[in-house]
Amino acid sequence: MNERQPNDRGTQECGPIEDLLGVYALDALASDEERRSVEDHLRDCVTCSDEVFSYRETVGLMASDGGQADEAIWEKIAGHLELGSEPVGQPDWDGIFGRNKPVVGGEPKDNVVQIDTASGRKSDRRRWLAISSAAVAACAAVIAIGVQSVRVDNLNHKVGQLEAAAGQPGAFQGAASAMTNPNAKHFHLVSMNSAAQYMGQLVVLPRGAAYLVGSKLPGLSQEYTYQLWSEVSGKMISVGLLGANPSGNSLTLQTGSVAKAFYVTVEPSGGTISPTSEPVAKAVT
Amino acid sequence: MVSELDNVSDANLVVAIARCREPALAEAYRRHGGAVYSLAKRVSGSSDLAEDVTQEVFIKLWESPERFDSARGTLRSFLLSGAHSRAVDLIRSQSARSARERKQAAEIDVSAYDIERHAWDLHLGEQVKKAVGTLPEAERRAIELAYFEGRTYKEVAQLLEQPEGTVKSRIRSGLGRLRGALSKEGVLT
């Protein structure tokens, strides 16, 4: 699936937008209206979006001159970070990649559970301190704990997604972005046998872009391909071919918003109009 | 500055940044701050603006690390893209533009060689230079004016006295040609 497939394109017409992809990647569009129209399209179209990313990667190479970073600018950046728990230049190296560091207000508390990353930001802590002061302290503290917990949960979620994306092979495009999209639907592929083994995850964005992430589907001989189907109103509709060795496939679902279940079958290498074999894997919400 | 994180991948650096680990941001800055500043200065023509842009880019990475998608490009290209976009916004304000244009007028004789001069570092520079060398002059000039000088395609069309559609096509085909050449060299995957 590394080659472009017709169904990689979104539901919108790409033609007029394609002409603008290069200049968009270079921030050279002539108006905000043009920029909005391109960005609207990119939200729908995986292939055009990938094209823009590839152009930016390309010009990024041209622009990289490897000059040494200016430490004076870093000092200004560090000043903006407003970190309180770790002075600039005195990092806790051992804890850089530690998880769930039990910190509240910058001070370790052995008896406090869970709160970690967000509490490191001074701005959050300032809000926390402001809320917990004076006569409303007790009541406000309870409310603030709730708000803070939600914030921390959200941040933990993002960290987890970034971490998962960082661990993925770099060959596929867009999956990590989809995984961090709060509006994405996540379908877990499981084998159809009695073991119901986890076979990967299908991440579907609201407007149809979909990604197969972390596929564990076993490799096939080149005469065959995995084919993904969506079930809509009892009918099986082909979503696309996953290839003999699925890895980071990107697809566009014409029926993404209404599909409730997906099936994977093994088909002849060119794919088929309708399934010719029993599904080997299934995904439901 | 920092050195203990030398072997940590950019993607994992961003994970650490999301966990509010300032040393990870410092390391990201150490790796890419020079390139970000250099591009911002090249586009804006101003050391002060470039410094502002550089600060903004890294503070934004600190505040919204989830915007970086390691599957869709390198951290450097992500940061450079942000820096370029911000620098272009700044220079399109009228006051900054006039000063920049005065500066560029003095540089016009050497600008045809700017892409080569911006080749990455000695290790990859030769490959990038080779890829740039495959571009027809018209494509290379259109890309250079749009990217390094922050021109809109309409402005590029006026400067090169070409139809706007031709400029759009040349920029896209040139970028595609560059991407292909760099992929062939193994610089891009």
Nearest to A228 by CA among A265, A193, A191: A265
Interface probe for A, chosen from B7, B9, B21 (most Cβ of A below 10 Å), is B21
Asked if B51 contacts A73 with a C-beta cutoff of 8 angstroms, the reply is yes
Residue window 50-69, chain B: list those with CB within 8 Å of chain A: 51, 54-55, 58-59, 62, 65-66, 68-69
Alpha-carbon distances of A268 from A225, A240, A276, rounded to whole Å = 6, 13, 9
Question: Among positive and negative, which fits the CA dihedral B104, B108, B112, B116?
Answer: negative
| pLDDT number for residue A1 | 37
Question: Among positive and negative, which fits the CA dihedral B88, B176, A50, A217?
Answer: negative
The single-letter DSSP state of residue A83 is B
Task: Give the tens place of pLDDT for each residue, B76-89.
Answer: 889 999 999 999 99
| pLDDT number for residue A216 | 80
List of chain B residues whose C-beta atoms are within 8 Å of the C-beta of residue A97: 12, 15-16, 19, 21
| pLDDT number for residue A202 | 81
| pLDDT number for residue A185 | 75
List of chain A residues whose C-beta atoms are within 8 Å of the C-beta of residue B18: 117, 155, 158-159, 162
Burial class (CB in 10 A: 0-12, 13-18, 19+), B189: exposed
Chain A residue closest in CA terms to B36: A64
Task: For residue B113, give every residue at least 6 positions away whose Cβ sits within 8 Å of its Cβ, in sequence order, or none.
Answer: none
Give phi and psi for A198, each to the nearest 5. -70, 125
Q: Quote the CA–CA distance of B166 and B152 in Å, as a whole number.
A: 14
Q: Quote the CA–CA distance of B20 and A84 in Å, as a whole number.
A: 11
| pLDDT number for residue A196 | 81
Listed as ranges, residues in chain B with pLDDT below 70 are 1-4, 6-7, 94-126, 185-189
The single-letter DSSP state of residue A238 is E
Q: Quote the CA–CA distance of A179 and A156 in Å, as a whole number.
A: 14
Count other C-beta atoms under 10 Å from residue B166's C-beta: 15
The answer to whether the Cβ–Cβ distance between A91 and B21 falls below 8 Å is yes
> What is residue B74's three-state secondary structure?
coil
| pLDDT number for residue B124 | 59
> What is residue A267's three-state secondary structure?
strand
For helices A46-63 and B122-132, give the axis angle rounded to 10 degrees.
Answer: 120
Q: Quote the CA–CA distance of B170 and B164 in Å, as a whole number.
A: 10
Please list the pLDDT of chain A residue by residue as tens digits (285 residues): 334 443 344 445 788 889 999 999 999 999 999 999 999 999 888 889 989 999 998 888 887 665 678 889 999 999 888 654 343 333 333 343 333 333 333 333 332 223 233 334 444 433 333 433 444 444 444 454 554 555 455 566 666 666 666 655 443 345 555 554 555 677 888 998 888 888 887 877 666 677 777 678 888 988 899 998 888 777 888 888 888 888 656 666 655 556 778 899 999 988 888 899 999 999 876
